[in-house]
Amino acid sequence: MAGRTTKPESASDALVIVANRLPITITSDGAVERSPGGLASALSSVVTEGSHWIGWTGQVGAPTSPLPDDGLTLHAVPLTAAEVDGYYDGFANSVLWPLFHNRLQQPELRRSWWRTYRHVNQHFADMVVEVAPPGALVWVHDYHLLLVPAMVRARRRDLRVGLFSHIPFPGPRLFGTLPWRRELLLGMADAHVIGFQTEDDVHNFQDAMHRFVGPLRRGRRGASVVDAFPISVDVAKWAALGDDASAGATALAEPGVVVYLGIDRLDYTKGIVQRLQAFGELLNDGQLDPAKCRFVQVAVPTRTDVPAYQEEKEAVEGLAERINQRHATPGSPGPVQYLDTPLDGPELAAWYRRADALVVTSLADGMNLVAKEFVSARTDLDGAVVLSEFAGAAHDMPGAIIVNPYDIEAIKRAMVAVFRMSPMERHERMSTMRDAVEANDVHHWARRFVERLRAAPVTRPFRFPGRAAGGRVAS
């Protein structure tokens, strides 16, 4: 991990990161790759020598001995095929993910998935109990591991435990449909610090605690700190990538062609269908000229064993194909350029510099780091951002054109506005966005969370009466 140089002065400086994925992924043919997502580089400024990372390799089974990784010790939690099915594809990605993103469809509430989720959370917690140095800081990430804070604290009272949720927390009525709402809240509430992306998420969590755990319990068990910690990106890294990429960027699409850009995991929460529909209608209406506009959509397949993701892939790819069939011009395959393979940093930066506008129409999104990468890479102070009001980033990016992604007409108006925007207005909007993103980059985010965790009193003035928090909970 670049940027990490310090040694722990005492055991309590050690950090134990607990996340569903390790910073490395083992592919189906056994190759070891860096994991997608920016968590490893996000944490580089707070990870000290002697720190640990507990997670899954992405494959069934796992190496049983710890793996060294640039000074960090990686501990792979071995998962069986049935555990991956029930915990990852099932409870995490077919129950919590859609519900926490307000998906307007009842998730299947399989009790066996819940039991496996709880069981796998216990595996992760057991590994923390085993490897955490005395007095260490434990930082648990994401919706896969909501029960881990209570499970760890039940057995290691010397540790400070933080939990950060990368995704939204739903309103209490929606959250309250979960048969296991109380167990999930109790699992989270034993953390010393609970971080969310936005104030809305904080309020939703507090409302849910109030309704389903109760004022008495809440007073005795509530985490020391529940606050918004909006995540960000490595602004300096993306600025340098943007500068390096600018020369080659024009080669990516014909000069004079307006490029709208979408970069996403192929996920139904991202609103890819809505933005392509808006683009297609603008072409149909004649408001955009197919010879002079291009929508470049990078959609990287993800969670491919989950049926909802297979359906989304068909919907997105079918729509892109129909637009291209209708609007293909001689010598051009059509105005939608669809890419389904992951791009590395320099490739992404080249598209960020080539695009006239980034279009982010997430139906719900914890933050959306692509939006922050885009403005970080635009050291030329050009380029516009169309941004969903339901992405956490909408709170952090004044200067973006904010849209309701369910309103196709609003997306169309925003895309036309980009087309007509003066260079001066683009410049002003981009400067405003860059100032805001620079003021809270990812290193600031990580340090702020860890400082709050370190400052939390290790012993809290309550003890859960009569039952170990990590013990059996009713299903």
- The residues carrying an active-site annotation are 166, 365
Tell whether residue 313 is a contact of ligand F6P (CB under 6 A).
no
Single out the residue of 12, 302, 332, 431 in contact with ligand F6P (rule: CB under 6 A): 302
- Identify residue 443 by its one-letter amino acid code: H
Tell whether residue 312 is a contact of ligand F6P (CB under 6 A).
no
Phi, psi of 55 (to 5 degrees): -170, -170
Tell whether residue 379 is a contact of ligand F6P (CB under 6 A).
no
Which residues inside 39-68 make contact with ligand F6P, applying CB under 6 A? none
- Identify residue 140 by its one-letter amino acid code: V
Task: Pull the structure tokens for residue 190.
Answer: 């034993």
- When the beta carbons of 265 and 294 are compared against ligand F6P, the nearer one is 265
Q: How far is the CB of 145 from ligand F6P (least distance, A)?
A: 10
Tell whether residue 98 is a contact of ligand F6P (CB under 6 A).
no
Tell whether residue 21 is a contact of ligand F6P (CB under 6 A).
yes
Tell whether residue 101 is a contact of ligand F6P (CB under 6 A).
no
Q: How many residues bind ligand F6P (CB under 6 A)?
A: 9
Q: How far is the CB of 189 from ligand F6P (least distance, A)?
A: 21
Single out the residue of 221, 303, 412, 443 in contact with ligand F6P (rule: CB under 6 A): 303
- Identify residue 392 by its one-letter amino acid code: G
Tell whether residue 142 is a contact of ligand F6P (CB under 6 A).
yes
- When the beta carbons of 39 and 375 are compared against ligand F6P, the nearer one is 39
Tell whether residue 167 is a contact of ligand F6P (CB under 6 A).
yes
* Contact indicator for 426, 386 with CB cutoff of 8 Å: no
Tell whether residue 366 is a contact of ligand F6P (CB under 6 A).
yes
Q: How far is the CB of 12 from ligand F6P (least distance, A)?
A: 27
Q: How far apart are CA 211 and CA 215, in angstroms?
A: 8
- When the beta carbons of 20 and 388 are compared against ligand F6P, the nearer one is 20
Q: How far is the CB of 426 from ligand F6P (least distance, A)?
A: 29
Q: How far is the CB of 92 from ligand F6P (least distance, A)?
A: 8
Tell whether residue 264 is a contact of ligand F6P (CB under 6 A).
no
Strand-pairing partners, residue 336, are: 295
> Which spans of this chain sit near ligand F6P (rule: CB under 6 A)?
20-21, 37, 142, 166-167, 302-303, 366
